[in-house]
Amino acid sequence: MTVQVVSSGPATAAISATGISAGAASETWMLTLPAASRGFQLNITGSMTAEAAAGSVVRHSLLATPLSVYGQYPADGSVQMMNAAKGKNFMPSARPLHRVYMMGGVNPSNTNPKPSDGTQGAIDIQRSASFPGQVTMIASNPDSLLGRLEHVATGFYEVVAGNITTGLDAWGGGGGPDGVNGSCVSFRQTGGCSGTGPRQPDGDRNCEETIPCNSGTCPSGYCECKGGEKRHPVDCKAGSHTPFTCAEICAGPDAADDDELATVIRADASWHTSAVITPNSKNFPSGDLTLGPNIPSDDLHAVMAGIYGSAPGCLCTFPNSPACPGMEGKHQKLGQIATTVARPDRGYAGTYNYFDPDNFFSMSALIYSGEPFLQEQARTVIERSGSWLCIGEVEKNNTCTYGQLPHHFVGTTPTFLALSGATQTGPNTFWTKSALQYARNSGNLAWLKSYMPTLRASSVRKTHSFGASLC
């Protein structure tokens, strides 16, 4: 590797590193720090110097000590996790990922931390160059797979060559950072007497079942291991292979005859990625923080940690709703918000969109953040509850009062009764206030104009509840 100082002037500091290699992959890194920036720009260009074996993956990784990881997918929603269990600590996705940040916790060597002590700080990664279909992964407790790294609690990975196609959009998917962890999923039967023939799911067998190869009992197929890795394709010709179990195959090393089931990385493959990486000694992401005058440091720390640490972690707005009990597998995007962050369990597990004072604080944090992405997440939550306001078809098909807002959702099903069984007006109040706050702070007055009929119906419910005694 060769490192060269490209610029060291007062306006910009820049360093290039060439010859960074791993296997047949070679890269050049350019690190640039403008004078008026909190973060440094990292541009990476890379290519293959030779063809890589089938199933190989070239990836970048950044591992960190802060306790909680957050991913912002601009077209799809928000994901957060901390303290993930082994086997459920990676979430791969092919959806565009714009921002990842890690924050939370005190120095792990401090056994008796005080509020005045230093924190783990935060790392803010804002990606500006990727490519369609690129798989990225956010990770919680990745050291449960990479135990050699002490105190690592969170991570971010981007795949730049090769691919991961299974386990997407779910915690535990991808089989770890390389897409494979060797554990067995199933024997997958195929037709046409070929291990690469069309699938025949009715003939699938469990991992411990012996796959025979006698006359009349020699199925064709392959072993699927965790991460979608396909091993040991066999045909149906009697005596073509010895009996085996997929548990044994997935636990063993890669077999040379598996190559036809995976895609090689071509020798002419190339890539380019770019991101601004902003570290912060304080416990909040600072990539978008102004360089101008600001509120006192301790106040800023409190406000920003509250906005970025809690409220985004409560969101369940990402398709498939990973780590949101009762919502997983719902592949449409739903605007719901939990009562706590994922750690990995959640308070009041499986229930969402309580428009009570606690939820109102979370919604206010998103709305007053000034960040358009978070404000739009708040809007999706407002519209999700508003879509079940007791008017029109909802009123016809449910036991509710005109204009009544659901008290909360159980999974994805709305209920108009509080946990106590009572009917309450509070949800209408806090929901309407949240909608008006969103319009005012985002400046989205066109939305407010279009949404006014729904807000008026909610207001009718509130005023009627007070009755004639109100004057």
User: Among 1.10.260.40, 2.40.100.10, 2.70.98.30, 3.90.1300.10, what is the CATH number of 2-172+267-290?
Assistant: 2.70.98.30
Phi first, then psi: what are they for 304, rounded to 5°?
-70, -35
CB burial of 152-191 (b: ≥16 within 10 Å; e: otherwise) equals bbbbbbbbbbbbbebbbbbbbbbbbbbbbbbbbbbbbbbe
Domain-by-domain residue ranges, the chain?
Answer: 2-172+267-290, 184-251, 336-466
In a 13 Å sphere around the CA of 393, the CA atoms on its Cβ side amount to 2
Owner of token pair 């796959």:
211
**CA-to-CA distance for 325 and 328, rounded, in angstroms?**
6
- Rounded Cα–Cα distance for residues 317 and 321 (Å): 7
pTM here is 0.79
| CA gap 59, 70 in Å, rounded | 19
pLDDT string in tens for the chain (471-residue length): 999 999 998 999 999 999 999 888 999 999 999 998 999 999 999 999 888 766 678 889 999 989 999 999 999 999 999 998 877 888 989 999 999 999 987 655 555 555 445 568 899 999 987 777 788 999 998 754 444 456 788 999 999 988 776 678 888 744 444 444 446 788 999 999 988 899 998 888 888 788 888 877 899 999 888 777 788 888 898 878 778 888 777 765 543 333 334 467 888 889 999 999 999 999 999 999 988 899 999 999 999 999 999 999 999 999 888 889 988 776 678 899 999 999 999 988 899 999 999 899 999 999 999 999 999 999 999 999 999 999 999 999 999 999 999 999 999 999 999 988 888 889 999 999 999 999 999 999 999 999 999 999 998 866 655 554 444
Give residue for tokens 């990292």.
Answer: 42
| Rounded CA separation 404/417 (Å) | 10
Helix (H, G, I), strand (E, B) or coil at 315: strand
3-state secondary structure of 205: strand
444 by Cβ neighbours in 10 Å (0-12 / 13-18 / 19+) ranks as: middle
Q: Kindly report the backbone phi and psi dihedral angles of residue 246, in degrees, each rounded to the nearest multiple of 5, phi listed first.
A: -70, -25
